[in-house]
C-alpha cells in the first residue's frame, strides 16, 4: 500500500506550505535580523535587496520581518476566534439537540436573529460596542461564529441521540452529561473538525478585514490586514507592501483547507471517493437541516 503522502499529494504539499508559514512565524525572532517596529527613514520604501528581502515600508521597517511577526498575530488570533466559538457553540448545540424544549426554542430564535445579519456587519456592531483593538475583534468574530457551529452540532446531535447505542447507554443508567460528551460528541467530532478548520480560514480573512478597516490590531503592532491597509497607498512605489501580506493570507487559507481536507480523507476512507465540493455540500445540508429543525 502506498503511504499517505503518495495517495494524497495535495495534503502533503499544502501541509508542507502550512508548516513553513507557521514555523516562520513562530521562529521569527531567530530568522529576522530586524525588529518588527525598527525604523530607518533613510531606507524608506526601499526595493527588495539582500538587506531587505521584500523591501521596506514608508518608515523604513523591514517588510519581511513585519510579515512574519504579523503572521504570529493573525494566526494566534484566528485560533482564539475558533476556540471561543467552539467553547460556546459546541455545548449549546449538544444541549439544544439533546434536551429540546424551551431551551432549544430560545437558542434557535437567538441564532435566527444573529444569522440574519451579514457576518462582517455583525462583527462591526460588536466591535463598535467593545471598542477598537485586537481583543475586541477576536471576541466579536468568536461570537459571530457561534450560531453556525451551534446549528451544525445541534443537527448532528438530533441524529445521534436516536441511535441504538444511545438507548443502550440510557438503559445502563449513564448520565446525560456522560452521554453527550463521551458518546455523542466523539461520534460527531469529524464533521465538527471540518467546520472548525473552515472557520479558522474564515477567521483569518475576517480579522484581516477588520484590521484593514482600522478596527482590529492597532499601530504600531501589525497583522496581515493592517499591512494591507498600510501598503495600499504605495502600490506604484512598492507593490510588495500589499502583495506580500495579501499573498500570504490567501496561501495560508488555501493550504489550511487543502491540508484538513486531506487529513479527513485519510482518516475516513469513505470520504476518499468524494470530491471536495460534495463534502462541502454535505456539510451545508447538515447545517440547513439543523436550521429547518429549529
pTM of the prediction? 0.82
For residue 215, the 8-state DSSP code is: S
For the chain, what are the domain ranges?
62-293
Q: Which of 260, 197, 243, 220 is nearest to 73 (CA)?
A: 220
Helical spans, DSSP H, in the chain: 4-7, 9-26, 28-31, 63-99, 101-115, 119-130, 134-160, 164-172, 176-179, 185-212, 224-231, 240-267, 276-293
Q: What backbone phi and psi angles, to 5 degrees, belong to 158?
A: -60, -35
CB 21 within 8 A of CB 201: no
Q: What is the DSSP string of 247-290?
A: HHHHHHHHHHHHHHHHHHHHH-GGGGGS-HHHHHHHHHHHHHHH
- pLDDT of res. 270: 55
- pLDDT of res. 77: 92
- pLDDT of res. 291: 55
CB 159 within 8 A of CB 290: no
- pLDDT of res. 86: 94
Strand partners, 56: 62
CB 147 within 8 A of CB 117: no
CB 40 within 8 A of CB 56: yes
Burial of 37 (0-12, 13-18, 19+ CB in 10 A): middle
Query: Could you list the mean pLDDT of each consecutive 10-residue stretch along the chain, which spans 294 residues?
Result: 57 87 90 85 83 85 90 92 94 90 88 84 82 86 91 90 86 86 87 85 90 84 86 82 90 87 67 52 58 54
CATH code given to domain 62-293: 1.10.3720.10
pLDDT digits (tens, 9 = 90+) for 169-191: 888 888 888 888 888 998 888 88
Amino acid at each position: 500500500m502506498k503511504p499517505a503522502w503518495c495517495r494524497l499529494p495535495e495534503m502533503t504539499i499544502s501541509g508542507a506550505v502550512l508548516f513553513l508559514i507557521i514555523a516562520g512565524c513562530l521562529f521569527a525572532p531567530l530568522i529576522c535580523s530586524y525588529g518588527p517596529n525598527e525604523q530607518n527613514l533613510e531606507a524608506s520604501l526601499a526595493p527588495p535587496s539582500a538587506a531587505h528581502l521584500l523591501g521596506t515600508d514608508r518608515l523604513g521597517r523591514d517588510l519581511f520581518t513585519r510579515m512574519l511577526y504579523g503572521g504570529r498575530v493573525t494566526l494566534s488570533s484566528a485560533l482564539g476566534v475558533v476556540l471561543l466559538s467552539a467553547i460556546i457553540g459546541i455545548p449549546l448545540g449538544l444541549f439544544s439537540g439533546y434536551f429540546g424544549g424551551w431551551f432549544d426554542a430560545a437558542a434557535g430564535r437567538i441564532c435566527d436573529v444573529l444569522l440574519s445579519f451579514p457576518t462582517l456587519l455583525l462583527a462591526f456592531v460588536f466591535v463598535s460596542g467593545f471598542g477598537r483593538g485586537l481583543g475586541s475583534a477576536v471576541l466579536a468574530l468568536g461570537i459571530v461564529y457561534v450560531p453556525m457551529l451551534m446549528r451544525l452540532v445541534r443537527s448532528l446531535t438530533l441524529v445521534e441521540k436516536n441511535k441504538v447505542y444511545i438507548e443502550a447507554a440510557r438503559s445502563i443508567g449513564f448520565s446525560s452529561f456522560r452521554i453527550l460528551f463521551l458518546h455523542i460528541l466523539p461520534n460527531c467530532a469529524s464533521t465538527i473538525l471540518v467546520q472548525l478548520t473552515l472557520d479558522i480560514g474564515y477567521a483569518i480573512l475576517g480579522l484581516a478585514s477588520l484590521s484593514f478597516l482600522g478596527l482590529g490590531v492597532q499601530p504600531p503592532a501589525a497583522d496581515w490586514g493592517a499591512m494591507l491597509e498600510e501598503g495600499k497607498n504605495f502600490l506604484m512605489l512598492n507593490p510588495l507592501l500589499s502583495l506580500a501580506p495579501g499573498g500570504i493570507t490567501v496561501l495560508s487559507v488555501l493550504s489550511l483547507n487543502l491540508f484538513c481536507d486531506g487529513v479527513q480523507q485519510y482518516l475516513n476512507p469513505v470520504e476518499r471517493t468524494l470530491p471536495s465540493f460534495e463534502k462541502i455540500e454535505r456539510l451545508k445540508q447538515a447545517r440547513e437541516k439543523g436550521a429547518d429543525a429549529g
